[in-house]
């Protein structure tokens, strides 16, 4: 069966520090992968998605970037975090016509 | 482009009462529609999905939704609310390679 792993679960970072969130999927090959962010009271915002290795589509211009170095690995990064980067980050993969989500990372930038 | 609008950011119901969450969609092609539920500090879990088969879709935990093309709606209902239904609910519509989500509706259940 397919599983998705996302870590860390919580993260507290100072403003200006770098960020790396990792997501891996098991049990499937060549999945479409996604990074979403939830800010308080603002629903889900699609940040990036990828349909294959090295293929990244950015939905919203911002302080973040994404990379897909391997088929089932998706990384969200920032060189310098801003206060506005705080939120709940969710990784997901798509299969059978639906999205399957990881358990999320709560990022607090202080 | 596809989009959904959820009417009402907060819904409060009594335990045992009907739960009704409203979602309207906009799509240039026949849509695939979804309802997801999110419990605090967790990822999203699929409740149900509509993929152009039966217009009344039954999901997990006693929820169901009806696709109404004439009203461009996909409202979610549950006949009798349980305390465990307290969560945030998201409607979504599929586009090319991605889903677009509504802003979410938070459901609280009163004892």
What is the pLDDT at residue A61?
67
What is the pLDDT at residue B98?
83
Cβ burial, residue B111 (10 Å; 0-12/13-18/19+): exposed
What does the H/E/C string look like for A43-97? Answer: CEEEEEEEEECCEEEECCCCCCEEEEEECCEEEEEECCCCHHHCEEEEEEEEECC
Q: Are strands B10-14 and B64-68 parallel, antiparallel or unpaired?
A: unpaired
Is B98 in Cβ contact with A34 (below 8 Å)? Answer: yes
A46 contact residues in B (CB cutoff 8 A): 98-101
Tell me the sheet residues that pair with B74: B67
**Neighbour tally for A80: CB within 10 Å:** 11
B23-78 pLDDT per residue, tens: 999 988 888 999 999 998 888 999 999 988 789 999 999 999 999 999 999 999 99
Residues 6+ apart with CB under 8 A from A61: none
Residues 6+ apart with CB under 8 A from B108: B10, B11, B12, B13, B86
**Neighbour tally for A51: CB within 10 Å:** 16
Is B100 in Cβ contact with A90 (below 8 Å)? Answer: no
A55-103 pLDDT per residue, tens: 999 988 678 999 999 999 999 999 999 999 999 999 999 987 789 999 9
Q: Tell whether the model's pLDDT for residue B96 goes beyond 90.
A: no
What is the pLDDT at residue A41?
67
**In whole angstroms, what is the distance from residue A12 CA to residue A76 CA?**
16
Counted across chains A and B, CB pairs separated by less than 8 A come out at 55
Report B:65-104 residues touching A (Cβ under 8 A). Answer: 90, 92, 94, 97-104
Query: Out of B43, B98, B104, whose CB is closest to A49?
Result: B98
B7 contact residues in A (CB cutoff 8 A): none
A37 contact residues in B (CB cutoff 8 A): none
* DSSP single-letter state for residue B85: G
In three-state secondary structure terms, B61 is helix
């Amino acid at each position: 069966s397919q599983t998705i792993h996302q870590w860390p679960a919580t993260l507290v970072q100072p403003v200006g520090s770098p960020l790396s969130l990792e997501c891996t999927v098991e049990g499937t090959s060549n999945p479409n992968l996604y990074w979403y962010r939830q800010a308080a009271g603002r629903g889900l915002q699609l940040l990036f998605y990828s349909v294959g290795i090295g293929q990244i589509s950015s939905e919203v211009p911002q302080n973040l970037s994404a990379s897909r170095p391997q088929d089932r690995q998706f990384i969200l990064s920032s060189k310098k975090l801003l206060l506005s980067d705080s939120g709940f980050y969710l990784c997901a993969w798509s299969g059978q016509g639906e999205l399957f989500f990881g358990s999320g990372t709560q990022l607090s930038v202080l | 482009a596809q989009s959904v609008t959820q009417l009402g950011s907060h819904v409060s119901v009594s335990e045992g009462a009907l739960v009704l969450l409203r979602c309207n969609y906009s799509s240039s092609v026949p849509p695939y529609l979804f309802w997801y539920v999110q419990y605090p500090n967790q990822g999203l879990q699929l409740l149900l999905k509509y993929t152009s088969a039966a217009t009344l879709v039954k999901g997990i935990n006693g929820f169901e939704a009806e696709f109404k093309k004439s009203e461009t709606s996909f409202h979610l209902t549950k006949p009798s609310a349980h305390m465990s239904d307290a969560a945030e609910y998201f409607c979504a519509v599929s586009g090319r390679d991605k889903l677009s989500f509504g802003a979410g509706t938070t459901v609280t259940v009163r004892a």
